[in-house]
Amino acid sequence: MDSFNYFILARSVHVLGVVAWIGGVAFVTTILIPSLIKITDSENRLELFEQLEGRFAFQARFVTLITGASGYYMLDIMNAWERYQHIQFWWMHLMTLIWGIFTLVLFVLEPLFLHRWFKEKAIKDSDGAFMWLHRMHKVLLSLSLLAIVGAVSGSHGFQF
């Protein structure tokens, strides 16, 4: 297989990773968290969240790694690192920022303290904790969707 076919494979893996990752974030943001907020028993709410979030965290970590690795490969094979120096490639900056935020949260902040901090906050003030969680997810989902629109448009030559 030549380098062009590897590039096509990398782009396919990259898009698949983004679909699984951001699609999962969309589900959590628009379906899961609003449904959990409607549960009146805060203990059951937290328990259900931890069960579901734990299962999704593995998927999110896996696809985030695949997305990052395939993105790095494509940048490297195209020798496109200079794009980070140009504003018309703002979507690459945003994609990288989003990937960095999620990677930091999933691999560093959540295991070190964020999971424990949220659980303590949810025990003290379940409504407030889940409303905060929902707001953060809305921000990240909005930025992620903007990055996707920018990346699809920009990678096909459109400039805003």
Residue 84 lies in a domain: yes
Distance CA 50, CA 115 (A): 9
pLDDT reported for residue 158: 85
**pTM value?**
0.92
So what's the pLDDT on residue 157? 84
Q: What is the number of structural domains in the chain? A: 1
Q: Is residue 98 part of a domain?
A: yes
pLDDT for 141 equals 98
Q: How far, in Å, CA of 156 to CA of 139, rounded? A: 26
- Cα separation of 110 and 126, whole Å? 18
- The CA distance from 21 to 26, in Å, is 9
**Does residue 26 belong to any structural domain of this protein?**
yes
pLDDT averages per 10-residue partition of the chain, 160 residues = 89 97 96 96 93 90 97 96 95 96 97 96 96 97 97 86
Q: Tell me if 44 is assigned to some domain.
A: yes
Q: Is residue 28 part of a domain?
A: yes
Q: Say if 160 falls within a structural domain.
A: no
Domain span including residue 73: 3-154
Give pLDDT, residue 62: 96
Sign of the alpha-carbon torsion through 94, 98, 104, 110: positive
- The verdict on residue 121 lying in a domain is yes
